Each structure stands twice: as structure tokens, then as C-alpha cells.
Chain A
Amino acid sequence: MSEPTLYELSATGRKAVSLPECDVKLATIPEHLIRADNGLPELTEQQIVRHYLRLSQRNFGVDCGFYPLGSCTMKHNPKTSEQTARLPGFAQIHPFQDEEIVQGALQLIFELQDQLKEIGGFEAVSLQPTAGAQGELTALLMIRAYNAARGEGHRNEILIPDSAHGTNPASATMAGYIAVEVPSNGRGNVDLDAVRAACSGRLAGIMLTNPNTLGLFEERVEELVALVRESGGVVYGDGANMNALTAIARPGDLGIDLMHFNLHKTFATPHGGGGPGSGPLGASGQLAPYLPSPIVERRPEDKKGWVEYTLTCPSHSIGRMSSFHGSFGMFVRAYSYLRRLGAPGLRAAAIDAVLNSNYLRVRLRDDYPVPFDRTCMHEFVCEGQPKGSEVRAIDVSKRLMDFGFHPPTNYFPLTVREALMIEPTENECKATLDAFVEAMRAIAREAREEPGRLREAPSTTPVRRLDEVRAARELTVCEPTLRT
């Protein structure tokens, strides 16, 4: 049964909130600027609570069960992080308060910057970007400014491997670059010969996701970095998959010049149904002066008006990328996670993320072919068409829902047919992984013997398969007035 909308539940005159009477003299409101009706619904508090409770019951999160959505790192979101972010001293502070009365917040930003620098092997970190894709865009704008400053402003091409996230080429376009796609080789890594051929005086840089979206570490990353650098290019690392490398290897040590972190993946801040995220950006020495502002500096004590932590603007900053200081609430959560784990805990988490992924790979590969079947990192990609069947990856995914699992990522990367991208994360125990394997195997059997069950799935969810063509044709994207 469908849940009525807020507007369907609304009736004239209902109220859910009690506001104070105006305790000051009423001022004259300019009549010609007033509207008759602001169009909001009218409900009681109980109606609102029940409505959203019922909606939540029609939604699946990591708290509900196994969520192996590849490339998204759906790891557990610690409840302590939710508590610390809600401390009044963090939640109830304004970005324009004088620095001396927000030293705690500035210290937290400074320490998070500092620890991300250490984890990534970078010279400096800015926490401005509000999401991973914005981190990418920020990095490309920095490369643009850096090249312009050294008289290389004509460089206008960015190399992007064919397995990259769609955000990479989209960010390149937004930054005014031409995205040049480079193919993968037979081992699922970037084809070095193709990179060599694409390196020219027009090269601005490369966007390198490592491990890549096949979950494979770039075996020849240092040769790749050397090639790009010899051509005068900058190496940007997309840190989307950093959960495999945290405390295992520092991108800066491998020659990466710039990289964004996803706090909502690697550092366990919640995905929120699609954000808010946070995409801090690390930079090596020659790029660090171009980082977006502000960043927090700790300064040695002097005399008058001394504050220990202060907001500053890097010397050649490209400017601001968000309204204020970035997603501060996410910084508190990520920093809570960091402090609870420490370096050994971070390494243990990365190791188990990789262990879990390899375990699922070897247990599933007999039914679901793995095209680049070698040791993977935190995720792997298999074909979602079980051997001996004609079903599609989407059918396998929908059927998984009936077994109580969230499906993996479908049809990405584009380099694998019927792709299922599986990322179990470090939190899941062997029993959960085994149950998932059993479900996948049962589905493979069904795919061969009674494929109709897959094509009709899911049958246990609040709604069944939805007509996406109709949605795109009719484009009902807001409540029709007639219905209300």
C-alpha cells in the first residue's frame, strides 16, 4: 500500500508547532510585496511523525542490513560520531563568530587537516570541498591556475581512464578541459602505451582512481606517474577508493600530486541518502599554495590579540568552493572515527575491507565470471549474468532484494558487461558474507532453471519494479495541484 503524500494528509487549519506571540511593536509590512498563500501543507505533529516513520520503513540503509554497493563504501556509521557532531559546542556555532570564541572548532579542523595530510602523504589539506565530485573540480581548477602561473596555460587535456567514475569527465568539462579517455589493458589497469601516446604538450594532467573502479591496484602506478610528469602533467588521484589504502600506502609517496578524500566513504560519515558529504583535498608542495581557502593554521604565540588557531588563505588560492568552511558537521564525525581507530585501527579496517572483498570474489567467481580475476582491493567486479543463463545484472540485483540484501552497483564500470560491482566493507562478518554467497548461488540456480522468478523480482519490497520510462515521459516531478 502506498503512503499518502504530505499534501494528501493536509487539511486547512492544522498546526504542528507553537510559536510565540510577537512581543514587539508591529512594523508596517509593504503590502505590494506580500503573498496570499505560501503553499505549504498543514499537518499535526503526530501525522508528520507517522508519515516519516512509515517512509523510513520503506527505505534500506546500512543499519538495516548488508549493503555491498560498490564504489560507495557503505561501511558502518558509528553512533558516537553522531553524538559528537550534535554537541552544542559544535552544532550551535556560527561561521562568523570571532576566532577567539571558536578555537575548539578551529583546532578540530586543524587536527583533521593535519591527520589527513599524514594519511595521504601530502604537504597541505583544505577541507573546503563539500563532496567528492567537488573535490575533483577543485583539483582541476587548481591545476588550471598552477599551469597559468607557470606559463603553461595552453595545456587543456586531461587523461581519464575508461574505468573512471562519470564524475571525472564531467568535472573535467566543468573545469574547461577536454577529457581524453585512455583504455584499460588486459589486466584491468591503465594501458601505459596508450598514456604514452596521449602525452603531449597539451597535457594538463591525469585523473587516476587507485585502486580503480574494478577494485584493482594500478600495478605500474609509479611508471604512470613518471610518464605524466615527464610531459609536464599533474597527477590527480581520485580518492574514492581510499578505504583500501588507509594506513596501507600513502598516495603522496606514490607520486600523486593532488587527491580528494571522501569522508563519507573512508571515514565512516553517513551517506545521508545521497549527502551531505565532504571531499577534503590534499596537495603536494608545488600545488599546495593553490588550495581553496580558507584553511586553518596554527601559529606560534606572539603578543597582542593572539589566537592559536586561525583561518588563512593559501598564497595562490583559487578561492572559495563553498559558502563557509565546508561540511564542518562531517569533520566532527570523521575526526571522531579517526581518533577512535588510530593508525593501527585504520590499517586493520583497510586489511579487512580487502580480505572481505577477495573472499567474496573467490566464492562467487564460479557462478559469476570475474573478468579480471586477480587479487583485488576493497571491491571487485563480476558479470551479473550467471554462467549458463540469459538473465541480466538488473534481474540478479532485484532478486537479491527478496533475500534481504541491498544489491551491488549495477552496470558500472562500463568496461565490464552486465557489471556487478561488489564492495562488502570491513564491518561484515563471515556469516553475513556466507549468507550473501548462498543467496547469490541460489539466484544463479534460479537464473538457469526458472529465470522468470528473477525477471519478476522483487516481490517482497514495498513496491515492485517501477516504470522508469513512464516517469521520464510524464515528468511528474512535483505534486499536481489538482490532487491537493
Chain B
Amino acid sequence: MSFTTHTKDARRAMLDAIGVASAEALFDDIPLHARFPDLELPPAISDIELERTFRRLSQRNVTLDDGPSFLGAGCYRHFIPATVDYVLQRGEFYTSYTPYQPELSQGMLQAMFEYQSMICRLTGMEVSNASHYDGATSLAEAALLALDEAGKNRSRILISPAVHPHYRDVVATYLSGTQASLIGPEDTTLSAADLVGKVCEETAALVIQTPNFFGYLEDLNGIAEKVHARGALLVVLVDPIMLGLFQPPGSYGADIVVADGQSLGIAPSFGGPSVGIFATRRAYIRRLVGRLVGETTDVEGQRGYVLTLATREQHIRRAKATSNICTNSALGALAAATYLATLGRQGLRQVAELCYHKSHYAAARIAALPRCSVNPATPDRPFFKEFSVELPLPAAEVNQALQKEFGIIGGYDLGRSYPAMTNRLLIAATEMNPREEIDRLVEALEQITASRAVR
């Protein structure tokens, strides 16, 4: 493909205007030995070959549409209404950049304002930024905000052992540039109530995920008061779908709410790109990270929107900025906004209810299998959308059998993150799994565990 446009005559006229004999002469500042290297790249292919090559490559992947799937663990298959891609494919949106010139960017700015409004309502918080990269990086920035807010003497982030292991890794990587550190017990069965007692004078924040990595809903009523009494902040990581039905963190006093927004209208796409949700209380608005859209009026008194409080940001404050973030995930936020508007008040509640009931149905049926136990340590704790199953053989083997013999993409092999849990499978059920799929999974698990566990 040619990505260039000039005719021979135009090129000549431009070179003459510049006063050089050839375009190559424009690169004379580059050291000669490094100029115009021979790159070993595959030859260019035609658009027809491209389509064929990429389709074939994509067909080497088994997709979530090819059969039942029960994988979650931070990336979920939810229904995406047709409105989302309709909006995402508008060239005016997706080929624009950060709305630095508000008069030409009112569409994106208003869409971001509406995104912020819906995230505030959904989380029960007062302020939402216009997006972060993804859930893990949102959480890392929340930790940095809390550390900054807490001052020098508080340099520990107390994190629940049941926070997504990848998120813990990302927070740890971010903190490797600071004097602060991530601490917390390793017992993944501990609840928020168990952890609150560990908040001390060195703790900047307590981080809780609900539902946590294993699917358990945390009862956080009364937790914030205890955390605040000990001088720390409460950071809550949520599943945004859950908020359609369950209490918003703002109602129980959370200081910062973060989430991964992939569930809100974004295809799994091998885990990215996603959108990071970041909401907080008004008290921290000047410490907020990322873009923020505010409402105002133009010279004629018409309502309009602009990026505001830019004095927090890197392009103004440089080394003193609240974060280095520049490009965020605006299009992800646009997808989430379109999703939330389309699902609406009743729809999101219904999706959350379907996830709740289907996961409970699956859990109950699997718990009835002779060699499987569900949520073994704490079977009575409430859960949402996900639960774990203790198997009589390695989860990796079960997943292999599910895939090869039954055409089912199983759950997440918890042994990949927790060496002591090699026989444990994390299973997610959403509105995308009709009952017959769940029944097929249960029957498959029954056969696999019966035939192999005898060894």
C-alpha cells in the first residue's frame, strides 16, 4: 500500500520551494553510518493478502463464540449492544485526539462529561476522571494518590490478599519507583473485616476488592469508619456490572473507587485495550489523575464543555504533576458510556441479577457433584458472578479435557497464580451463558472427575 500521496510534479515543486535537490537530502543531520538502513522486514502485502493472512492468523485462535466459556478472572464476556460499535465507528470520534481545542471537540467532551456523570452515579462518588488505562493501572494510581495524601510517615499500602494477582503485580511495579511498599497477609480467605485491624500508623490505604478475585462479595459497611479512625484511606476495587444491583462504594464511605471497565461494552480482545475507572471524593479533586471534563458556557452563554483543572497535569506542571498520564482510554470510556446508556437503569440491574443467579445455579450444581467442592473454605460467603471449585485433579488437566473433549473453555486455573491451588478452578457465569451451557459444563466436569480421579 502507498501511504503517500504526492504526484511527481507536486513533489518536484515542493522540493524546489524548500531548495533541496531530493527528499533524501532532508536527512543530512543524521549520522551517515546510521542513515537509510536496510531493514529486514517481510515484503509489503496487498489488501487482499492482508485480509487473508490476518483472517488465517485469527483462525488459529479458538474464540469465546466457538462454544461455552466460563473464563473470567478480570476479563469477562458480557453482551455488547449494537449501539456501542455504531458509536465507536464514527470517524469523528475515533480519529480525533485529546480535546485540547474544545470548540472542535464538543462531542467527545460532552460524551466524557456524561461518562463521568454515570460513573459518579454508579459508584456513589462525587468525581470521576475521564478514564485511565485499565483496572490495574487505576489501582496503582489510587495507591499513589493515597500515599501522597497520607504524607511521608505512612508508606505502606495494605492490600487484601484476594485482590487480583495481576493488579497486585502492577501496583508493586509502580511502587518500585517510590519509598513505599505493598504489604498484607497471604491468606486469601481473609475478609475486609479481618484486614481492618491491620491498618496502623504506617498505612496510607487499605485496598479491598469486591467481589474479590475469588468472586466473594465483601460486606464493607462500617469498614471505612474504622480505616479513617486509624488515619488511612479506603480504596475499593469493584466490578462495574455488580454496581447495577449492589451497594455503591460511596454509600459505605470509600475514598477512592477503581475498576476495570472492560465489562462495559468492550470486547475481551486478549485482555486489552480496556478502560480504567477512577472515582473519588470531591476533597481529592485537585489530586485527581488524568483528564477531567467540566461544564461551562461560551461567550454567548451557550452550554459547553472543556478539559478542566489542567494545572494538575503533566503538560502544565511537569515534574510536579499528579501523574504522567497523557493518552488515557477515551474511546474505551466512550464505549462504556454508550453501554451504560443503552443498558440503562433497568438493564444493568437485570444483567447483574442474571450473573448472580446463573453463577449460583452453576455453583449449586457443581457442589452437588461427588468429587467437587465449591468455595471450599467459606461456602456460606455471598459471591457474585464467579466462584472457585476444588477438583480431585489439577485444574490445568480439567481445562484441557473440557476444551479437547467437550469444546468448552473452562475456568481460570488458580494454580497459575497460587501454587497451593493447582486443583482449583475459578469459574465465571454471566448473562451470556444459557442454562444448557451451564448444564453441559456440569456434565463434563462430572465425567472428567469421575473418569480421572480414580488414578
Contact = CB atoms under 8 A, between A and B. Distances in A.
Given A34-B246, A474-B294, 15 more contacts: A40-B122, A75-B3, A94-B268, A94-B270, A104-B58, A132-B326, A134-B137, A144-B177, A166-B318, A169-B319, A169-B321, A274-B329, A321-B170, A468-B306, A471-B305
A59 B111 CA distance: 11
A10 B38 CA distance: 59
A99 to B, nearest CB: 11
A56 B38 CA distance: 43
B273 A90 contact: no
Interface string B316-334: 1111110111111111101
21 contacts: A19-B79, A19-B354, A22-B358, A23-B434, A55-B106, A58-B110, A101-B409, A170-B319, A175-B177, A216-B29, A271-B97, A272-B334, A275-B327, A319-B173, A321-B170, A323-B167, A324-B75, A463-B302, A471-B296, A471-B306, A475-B294
Interface string A328-346: 1110100010111111111
A419 interface: no
Interface string A30-63: 1011110111111101001101111111111111
B39 interface: yes
A170 B289 CA distance: 12
Nearest to A148: B176
A119 interface: yes
A312 B356 CA distance: 35
B1 interface: yes
Interface stretch (B44-52, B200-208, B370-378, B446-454): B44-52
A3 interface: yes
A397 B101 CA distance: 9
Contacts of B353: 22, 29
Contact of B90 (A1, A35, A56, A105): A56
B176 A48 contact: no
Contacts of B295: 471, 474, 476-477
Interface stretch (B155-163, B189-197, B227-235, B335-343): B335-343
A74 B104 CA distance: 15
Given A30-B382, A40-B343, A92-B65, A63 B95 contact: yes
Interface in B16-73: 17-20, 23-24, 26-31, 33-45, 47, 50-51, 53-65, 69, 71, 73
A3 B108 CA distance: 12
Contact of B329 (A101, A221, A276, A363): A276
Given A92-B268, A274-B327, A74 B31 contact: no
A429 B5 contact: yes
B58 A273 contact: no
Contacts, number: 701
Given A464-B298, A475-B308, A340 B45 contact: yes
Contacts of A398: 103
Interface in A178-237: 179, 216-217, 219, 221-222
Contacts of A401: 101, 103-104
Contacts of B331: 270, 272-276
B374 to A, nearest CB: 13
Nearest to B140: A321
The winner among A119, A339, A397, A463 for most chain B CB atoms within 10 A is A463
A370 interface: no
A318 B174 CA distance: 9
A435 interface: no
A347 to B, nearest CB: 7
A303 interface: no
Category for how many chain A residues contact B? 35 or more
Given A40-B121, A101-B62, A173-B321, A467 B330 contact: no
B369 interface: no
Contacts of A326: 271-272
A381 interface: no
B191 to A, nearest CB: 13
B444 interface: no
Contacts of A108: 57
B302 to A, nearest CB: 5
A131 B134 CA distance: 11
Given A131-B327, A132-B326, A55 B3 contact: no
B23 A354 contact: yes
A266 B28 CA distance: 21
Contacts of A58: 106-107, 110
Interface string A113-142: 001001101000000001111101100110
A222 B35 CA distance: 13
Contacts of B338: 48, 52
Given A101-B62, A359-B17, A407 B101 contact: yes
